[in-house]
Amino acid sequence: MAGADLLALSVVEREMDDVARALERLDDGTYGTCAACGAMLADEQLGGSPAARFCVAHAPAG
Ligand SMILES: [Zn+2]
């Protein structure tokens, strides 16, 4: 099914986008901090989602 393939591809592309952003943040020293308030992210949060960009308080719903 071409449609399913395209959907899977877009999911992979989005994940690669997240990883690329995480690497940029490693570069500029903001990796592991909330993009909204600058708080350090909890280890368990980064463990579950290494590309997490927001603390629990600022994580987008969903
Ligand atoms: Zn925050």
Residues less than 5 Å from ion ligand 1, measured at CB: 34, 36-37, 39, 55, 57-58
The total domain count for the chain is 1
Task: Examine residue 58 and state whether it is found in any structural domain, yes or no.
Answer: no
Task: Examine residue 59 and state whether it is found in any structural domain, yes or no.
Answer: no
Task: Examine residue 57 and state whether it is found in any structural domain, yes or no.
Answer: no
Task: Examine residue 9 and state whether it is found in any structural domain, yes or no.
Answer: yes
Q: Please write the tens of the pLDDT for every residue from 26-50.
A: 888 888 899 999 999 988 888 888 7
CB-based contacts of 37: which residues, under 8 Å, 6+ apart?
A: 55, 57, 58
Distance CA 43, CA 52 (A): 11
Q: Is the pLDDT of residue 1 over 70?
A: no
**How far, in Å, is the centroid of ligand 1 from the Cα of 13?**
26
Average pLDDT over residues 45-60: 85
Distances (CA, A) of 3 to 6, 10, 52: 5, 11, 29
Q: Please write the tens of the pLDDT for every residue from 8-30.
A: 999 999 999 988 988 898 888 88
Domain span holding position 15: 2-48
**How far, in Å, is the centroid of ligand 1 from the Cα of 18?**
18
Task: Examine residue 25 and state whether it is found in any structural domain, yes or no.
Answer: yes
Task: Examine residue 7 and state whether it is found in any structural domain, yes or no.
Answer: yes
